[in-house]
Amino acid sequence: MLQIVADGLIIGAIVSLGAIGLTLTFSVLRFSNFGHGEFLAWGAYFAFTALSFFGATAAGKAMPIAPFSFGLPLLAATAVAAGLTALLVLLLDAALFRRLRQQGAITLVIASFGAALALRNLLLFFYGGVPLYYSQDLQIALVLLPRSVSGGLRITPDQMFVLGLTLFTVVGVHLFLSRSTLGRAMRATSMNPQLARVAGIDPERVLRATWVVGGVLAAVAGVFAGLTVQLRPTLGLDLLLPLFAAVILGGIGSVWGAVLGGLIVGLAESAAVHIVGAEYRAAAAFVVLIAILLVRPTGLFAEKTG
């Protein structure tokens, strides 16, 4: 029982991070971006490439930081991946989305669909379809509770790292949105774009900032997905439905809603794996999605929009 919860929280942490970025772009740019999953996948693969660069140098030969399976190189690689993913997202916006913004939300959705397809298959082209790993070492799970207590609880140090850093990141995003000028400008634009413009907020700058925040969070989530599961070109496609379910569950535009939604989706997936079987895992997010659309389509914490 506890194991289901722990597994669910780890999946949920990854979904949450991705969902924050998606909910921000959803509310500021006003379209559902089907390419967001690919940002996670590209972030994960960028980190893989950066890691292999570091690995070729002497500094990269550093020992893993006990008890994790990775050392400073992976942290540095994540930072590089975050930067590169943000750049990729900005390029995509300049090449595609900005040109279509006048045509309405649905055209943007179609464009994001085409972009997702191209991005995913570029990954397949560059890296091939074989799953990759950041580290070849097997990590032994720590036994936190023996099997006799509620079925036991085992968790790897890497998984604990993912949970800890997710919490850290979520608090950071919250502080950024509530305290910084740029973050407040983003929230203002999401609530009422016209009024925000009247108040002297440069909409293009806010849009760029939103893309960057979404891209950075996606890269971090992607690295976490690669760290706890594996890297594969369909990583983004497989996470897209959980991401959307989390965003709608939490209410579009709500950061804490996205976090909670992500955790609920993660728990649902984990429960589905234990109850129905791993083959129906992906359907869990869909069931959550349909349930929330039937019961409360505005989500749990809908931001009041103008």
Partner 1 sequence: MSELGAWQGWLLGWISYGSFFLVFACSYAVIVLGLNLQWGYTGLFNVGVAGFVAVGAYTSAILTTPEAADRVGGFGWPVAAGWAAAMLTSGAVGLLVGAVALRLRHDYLAITTFGVAVSIQLLATNLQKLTGGTFGVQFIPKPLQGWLGTGLVWNLAYLALVALLLFGVYSALQTLTASPWGRVLRAIREDEAAAESLGKRAYFYRLQSFVIGSMLMGLGGAMSAHFVGYIAPEDFLPILTFQLWAMLIVGGAGNHRGAVLGAFLVWGFWTTAGGLLRGFVPQAEQARAAALQVVLIGMLIALVLVLRPRGLIGEKVSAAVGK
Of the residues 241, 249, 259, 260, which one makes contact with partner 1 according to CB under 8 A? 241
Residue 265 in the binding site for partner 1 (CB under 8 A): no
- Per-residue binding string, partner 1, 123-142, x by CB under 8 A, is -xx--xx-------------
Of the residues 114, 131, 151, 172, which one makes contact with partner 1 according to CB under 8 A? 114
How many residues contact partner 1, by CB under 8 A? Answer: 44
Of the residues 3, 23, 34, 187, which one makes contact with partner 1 according to CB under 8 A? 34
Residue 283 in the binding site for partner 1 (CB under 8 A): yes
Q: With respect to partner 1, which residue has the nearer C-beta, 128 or 151?
A: 128
Buried b (16+ CB within 10 A) or exposed e, 188-223: bbbbebeebeeeebeeeebbbbbbbbbbbbbbbbbb
Residue 59 in the binding site for partner 1 (CB under 8 A): no
Residues at the site binding partner 1, with contacts judged by CB under 8 A: 31-32, 34, 96, 99-100, 103-107, 109-111, 113-119, 121-122, 124-125, 128-129, 237, 240-241, 244-245, 248, 279-280, 282-283, 285-286, 289-290, 293-294, 297
